[in-house]
Amino acid sequence: MIRENSYNKDVSPLNKNNKNSIDLQSHKEFLLSSKESFVKSIKGLFISVNKEQDSIMLYGNNKEIIGYDEEFIIFTVDESKKYVHNDYIKILIDAVINNEEETEVKIINALGQELWISVKGQSKINKNGEFLGFEGYLYNITKEKEAHLKLEYMTQYDELTGLNNRKHFKDIIEEELKNHTKLESRGALIIIDIDNFKFINDSYGHKCGDIFLKRFSEDLKNAFDDNKLLCRFGGDEFLIFLPSINSLNEIKCTTRKIIDILKKPYNINNDKIYSSSSIGISVFPDDGENFEVLLKNADAAMYIAKGNGKNQCQMFNNNISREINRIYSIQRGLRTALENNEMFVVFQPKVRLTDDEVNGFEALLRWKSNEIGFVSPGEFIPIAENTRLIIPIGKFVLREVFIRVKYLLSEGYDNFKIAVNLSEIQLRQGDLIEYFNSLIKEFNVSPKYIEVEITESMIMKSVDRNIECLLQIKDLGSSIALDDFGTGYSSLNHLTKLPIDVLKIDRSFVIDMTENDKSRYIIENIIQLSHKLGITVVAEGVEEKEQVDYLKSIDCDTVQGFYYSKPENFENVINMLNK
Ligand code: C2E
Ligand code: CA
Ligand code: CA
């Protein structure tokens, strides 16, 4: 070619007049340049996929994207790995199939180059929504994407340490806190301030200070699994969020790790640089429900730590740390309470007002822990519910009740019911009815001697399902009492909607009754309404004779309370029952 050219130019000047040859040459150049400009104009790679023929056709700037010189390539899906790294073929295929005009994917091509590709085009889909093919363009957008990612990185991360910056961290934590409210679990925000950092900067120079902060950040990253929850808050302050703490120990463990990091000096430019940290902790949701408040309180705690001599940690609220400790020891204790025989059931008589006869008992659970002593059910039941330990515990209570029913029947008593409290978790668990049935078989007693006490708030958590479960209990032959009426929803509507036989008026109403005309009026009317609906009324927490007299005068059916008897061991209440 070169020789031909030089011949044309130099040896045979006549040829210059050979129009044909010159035209061909310029045409070729024109074609070349126009193709180049065409390829340039689309800057990308035309792609056509035909599913039926299992063919993928690429035309255009193959070099820039898949690293091949040829401008036209056709291959099958199987052969794709020649052009795109095996691990990324599916990503690219998905981007093509699910194309919504433009998709950006990261791939590695067959030459091992990492690229960001934009896939633009239109999928062909048949009537049934099946993928037939695709036509469009692939563009190499690596440069733009990297610039964008860098910018994004700079707005989210601290340049020096690579940790989340303050703004990004706040966004992350606020998102976390939203989920937390749902989970009802505790979290902790920890603020760390390097002690005497100003001294390091002043005596060793800012460069050295920077290296110190970098090293410390690296050590933090190594000490915690989830770097997402670490932050350089600014200067020499760092934040850590613990999303779910199951024990106070977890906070302690974390703070110990932090304090330990600075126990050894950093060797920077031949200087051994010693420091320590002061740490403040706030607990979610107790010390604050949003990031700002948690931060303010953790900060306040940190100042106390500094004031107390640095190199230590401080919780914002000592009461909370005590309370958390208590909750955790209850949680721990509950796990082994049943096997250690620390739980037992006491019985409180219910008295029929028409003839002052005891017509039943409420079974109430007691726990005397070997470790922490007596714990009231008001305190441990909610914790047992949160940890779902209420399921085995509830089964224990139900079984104890069956044992007593069996005993009373064998002794010739017939005119009684024993009421047992149920938790929502038990209703929801699913095998409650099964367990009920198994006890009926085991003890061979009729469930009509058992009454189940539920509360409105329990039902409200999942109305349809819980009502279904109550109906099944009723079908077995047990009765159902609505407990604590007057505290929660107290909806009269529930009296007609829920399958209840008994209404228990809460103690707070009974207390109010003697002083408050309105309370009296409400109770009177509730009793009348209940009677019209065929519902029996029990008044709870009756402590005084006047209360009994008044309740009698307004036709209340039954009372329960210290006036007659506290909840007692079974042996102590049997003799209150008449045969
Ligand atoms: P509750 O079902 O409303 O039980 C009545 C509570 O009032 C009992 O407290 C009882 O001792 C108390 N009480 C009865 N009469 C009087 C009185 O005249 N004056 C005063 N001041 N109090 C009276 P307890 O035994 O501490 O139980 C508290 C709550 O714990 C119960 O409230 C119930 O919600 C729950 N609970 C107890 N045992 C169980 C159980 O086996 N399973 C479930 N799920 N919850 C239980
Ligand atoms: Ca009750
Ligand atoms: Ca009650």
Q: Pick the residue whose CA is nearest to atom 21 on ligand 1.
A: 541
139/166 same-domain check: no
Mean confidence (pLDDT) of the chain = 87
Q: How far apart are CA 79 and CA 66, in angstroms?
A: 13
Q: How far apart are CA 167 and CA 173, in angstroms?
A: 10
Q: Pick the residue whose CA is nearest to atom 8 on ligand 1.
A: 364
SS3 state of residue 41: helix
- Do the domain assignments include residue 327? no
Q: Check residue 25 and give its pLDDT.
A: 52
pLDDT in tens, 503-534: 999 999 899 888 888 889 889 999 999 999 99
Calculate how far, in angstroms, residue 560's C-alpha sits from the geometric centre of ligand 3.
10
458/544 same-domain check: yes
pLDDT band at 320 (very low <50, low <70, confident <90, very high): low
Q: Return the ligand number nearest the Cα of 364.
A: 1
Q: How far apart are CA 454 and CA 497, in angstroms?
A: 14
The helix (run of H) or strand (run of E) holding residue 528 is helix 517-532
Count of other CB atoms within 10 angstroms of residue 80? 19
Write the DSSP symbol of residue 264.
Answer: S
pLDDT in tens, 451-474: 999 998 888 777 788 888 999 999
Is 44 touching ligand 1 by the criterion CB < 6 Å?
no
Nearest C-alpha neighbor of 371 from the set 337, 325, 419, 322: 337
Please report, for the domain that includes residue 566, its CATH number.
Answer: 3.20.20.450
pLDDT band at 125 (very low <50, low <70, confident <90, very high): confident
SS3 state of residue 138: strand
pLDDT in tens, 44-59: 788 888 988 998 988 8
CA 504 to chain centre: 36
Greater model confidence, 376 or 514: 376
What's the average model confidence in pLDDT over 288-300? 93
Q: Locate all alpha helices (DSSP H) within 137-290, ordered by sequence.
A: 142-156, 166-183, 197-204, 206-223, 248-261
- Do the domain assignments include residue 321? no
pLDDT band at 31 (very low <50, low <70, confident <90, very high): very low
pLDDT at 37 over 60: no
Among residues 128, 147, 166, which one ends one of the domains?
147
Is 193 touching ligand 1 by the criterion CB < 6 Å?
no
Q: Check residue 29 and give its pLDDT.
A: 54
The helix (run of H) or strand (run of E) holding residue 420 is strand 417-421
pLDDT in tens, 483-500: 999 886 777 777 888 899
Write the DSSP symbol of residue 15.
Answer: G
Neighbour-count burial of 398, counting CB atoms closer than 10 A to its CB (0-12 exposed, 13-18 middle, 19+ buried): buried
Q: Return the ligand number nearest the Cα of 378.
A: 1
Give the percent of the chain with pLDDT over 70: 91
Q: How far apart are CA 364 and CA 348, in angstroms?
A: 8
- Do the domain assignments include residue 194? yes
Among residues 147, 173, 205, which one ends one of the domains?
147
pLDDT at 11 over 50: no
pLDDT at 108 over 60: yes
Tokens 């714990």 map to which residue?
A: 375
pLDDT at 420 over 80: yes
What's the average model confidence in pLDDT over 79-106? 79
| Amino acid sitting at position 360 | G
What's the average model confidence in pLDDT over 78-106? 79
The helix (run of H) or strand (run of E) holding residue 89 is helix 86-97
> Are 241 and 188 within 8 A, CB to CB?
yes
pLDDT at 26 over 60: no
pLDDT band at 324 (very low <50, low <70, confident <90, very high): confident
pLDDT at 60 over 90: no
274/407 same-domain check: no
Q: Check residue 69 and give its pLDDT.
A: 82
- Do the domain assignments include residue 322? no
Q: How far apart are CA 13 and CA 18, in angstroms?
A: 10
What's the average model confidence in pLDDT over 151-160? 91
Among residues 316, 349, 373, which one ends one of the domains?
316
Is 421 touching ligand 1 by the criterion CB < 6 Å?
yes
Tokens 């005119």 map to which residue?
A: 415
Is 397 touching ligand 1 by the criterion CB < 6 Å?
yes
130/162 same-domain check: no
475/548 same-domain check: yes
Ligand 1 pocket test: pick from 421, 425, 456 the residue with the most ligand atoms within 8 Å of its Cβ: 421
Q: Locate all alpha helices (DSSP H) within 356-430, ordered by sequence.
A: 377-386, 390-410, 424-429
pLDDT in tens, 259-272: 999 999 999 999 99
Q: How far apart are CA 132 and CA 124, in angstroms?
A: 5
| Amino acid sitting at position 237 | E
SS3 state of residue 387: coil
Please report, for the domain that includes residue 130, its CATH number.
Answer: 3.30.450.20
Is 561 touching ligand 1 by the criterion CB < 6 Å?
yes
Q: Which two tokens stand for residue 98?
A: 């699910």
298/377 same-domain check: no
- Do the domain assignments include residue 312? yes
126/247 same-domain check: no
pLDDT at 36 over 80: no
Order of strands across the sheet with 101-108? 72-75, 55-60, 45-50, 131-140, 114-125, 101-108
Name the residue range of residue 340's domain.
333-576
Calculate how far, in angstroms, residue 508's C-alpha sits from the geometric centre of ligand 3.
10
- Do the domain assignments include residue 324? no
Ligand 1 pocket test: pick from 334, 361, 364 the residue with the most ligand atoms within 8 Å of its Cβ: 364
401/532 same-domain check: yes
- Do the domain assignments include residue 528? yes
Q: Check residue 109 and give its pLDDT.
A: 82
pLDDT at 276 over 60: yes
Q: How far apart are CA 295 and CA 300, in angstroms?
A: 8
Q: Which two tokens stand for residue 201?
A: 């900067």
280/420 same-domain check: no
Q: Check residue 161 and give its pLDDT.
A: 95
Q: How far apart are CA 490 and CA 470, in angstroms?
A: 18
What's the average model confidence in pLDDT over 540-549? 95
pTM here?
0.59
Q: Check residue 45 and give its pLDDT.
A: 85
Is 424 touching ligand 1 by the criterion CB < 6 Å?
no
| Amino acid sitting at position 416 | F
Greater model confidence, 83 or 14: 83
Please report, for the domain that includes residue 238, its CATH number.
Answer: 3.30.70.270
What's the average model confidence in pLDDT over 360-388? 95
Is 551 touching ligand 1 by the criterion CB < 6 Å?
no
pLDDT at 17 over 70: no
143/162 same-domain check: no
pLDDT in tens, 179-231: 776 556 789 999 999 998 998 998 999 999 999 999 999 999 999 888 889 99
Calculate how far, in angstroms, residue 409's C-alpha sits from the geometric centre of ligand 3.
26
Q: Check residue 387 and give its pLDDT.
A: 85
Q: How far apart are CA 471 and CA 113, in angstroms?
A: 66
Q: Pick the residue whose CA is nearest to atom 25 on ligand 1.
A: 364
Domain count of the chain? 3
291/373 same-domain check: no
- Do the domain assignments include residue 59? yes
The sign one gets for the Cα dihedral 428, 429, 434, 435 is negative
Q: Check residue 244 and give its pLDDT.
A: 87
Q: Check residue 174 and give its pLDDT.
A: 93
pLDDT in tens, 244-253: 887 788 899 9
309/455 same-domain check: no
pLDDT band at 5 (very low <50, low <70, confident <90, very high): very low
Is 103 touching ligand 1 by the criterion CB < 6 Å?
no
